[in-house]
Amino acid sequence: MEKAYLCKINWIGMRFRDIIGQATIKQQLISSVREERIAHAQLLTGPEGVGKLQLAIAYAQYIACAHRTETDSCGECPSCLQYQKLQHPDLHFAFPITESGEVCDSYVDKFRETILSRHYFDLDDWYKALGTENKQGMIYEKESSEILRKLSLKSFSNGYKVMIIWQPEKMHAACANKLLKLLEEPPEKTLFLLVSEHPLQLLTTILSRVQQIHVPKLSDEEIMEDVRCRMQNDECKVQDIVRLANGSVLRARKLLDESDTKKQFFEDFKSLMRRAWMVGHKKNYDALLELYQWSQDMADSKVGRERQKAFLQYAQSQVRENFIRNFHMPQINYQTSEEQDFSKNFAQFIHEGNVEQLMHELERAEKQISQNGNSKMIFFDLCLQVIVMI
């Protein structure tokens, strides 16, 4: 496979060559077309951020292409040009939405825009695009009728009609049950491509009707190429992000976007733990006054509740990483080089006797912030609890 994806910051195509890595899966999909053994219902599973949705689209484009090659669609025929905008009349999408009275067609333009602008994204990104971060989406029962209607129509190009269902585990049970017969006995030249991160949440009757394709994590080398394109002249930071990404290009890109915020969270975490240790072990009461000031700074209205919650989530992750560090298993320890340097001396203070209590107090503080509690009291109480436990 060509590595034409290297340094493509903006994804403008729907071809296999535009997708990072996954050479084995690409070849598997291509071979199914060239050998005329396209399964009518396929389920692409795997971690988030590894290219499942992108592979599904590139596969559908390859099937529809008038001049496909042994390795990819041509990118120039009328069908490919329509796929490039995700507007081929035989390509349909179903995905979670947050309004029960609506159907996916009401939001399909936003969904296309999200794919074309972000390429890799997750449910949180999609809800933000919809402006409904605080709601949980679903593929509602009403959508099943829309799917049946679309697939009963005659194909525009006399080829395959493709229905891509993103996050099928979000289907309402009534919707999923109504699709069972269609999955088992679809109209001629109908292709279902389900894209899931949690296949065990699907009905077993659906799983029994689909061909499953597991899309694995990307290699560090593949992630590294993408990160280097976005970050110049900082090889140490590149290495950190690749390690923390754990095979997900989406995770790597989010880490890039969050790097400045995470750096501040790390400084705040160090301040909390160091001062709590000084009070508890050295009886340094100047450090207690500093902790009080730290709690006031964290509670400042300029910080905002979302950032406060994000810090508490970060602190929970660092407690976990410091606890795991004591087992000397670097393959399951995900920290930047700066975090690792701090943990060399600090990890010993996170142990079996306090790790659960620490996690509980951090989770409790996060919940109280979410419930609009008094943030000054919440953060200072957290400081006192950490002193006792550290």
pTM of the model: 0.70
Q: What is the pLDDT of residue 153?
A: 86
Mean pLDDT of all residues belonging to the chain: 89
Residue 6 pLDDT greater than 50, yes or no: no
- Could you state, in order of their start, the residue ranges of all structural domains in the chain? 16-216, 236-389
Q: What is the pLDDT of residue 259?
A: 66
pLDDT in tens, 282-339: 888 899 999 999 999 999 867 788 889 989 999 999 999 999 998 888 777 778 778 8
| 9 — pLDDT class (breaks 50, 70, 90) | very low
Q: What is the pLDDT of residue 244?
A: 82
Spatial CB neighbours of 272, under 8 Å, sequence gap ≥ 6: 291, 294, 315, 383, 386
Residue 1 pLDDT greater than 80, yes or no: no
Query: Span 360-371, mean pLDDT?
Result: 93
CATH class, range 16-216: alpha beta
pLDDT in tens, 254-291: 887 776 678 889 999 999 999 999 998 888 889 999 99
Residue 2 pLDDT greater than 70, yes or no: no
pLDDT in tens, 104-136: 999 999 999 999 988 899 988 898 899 876 678
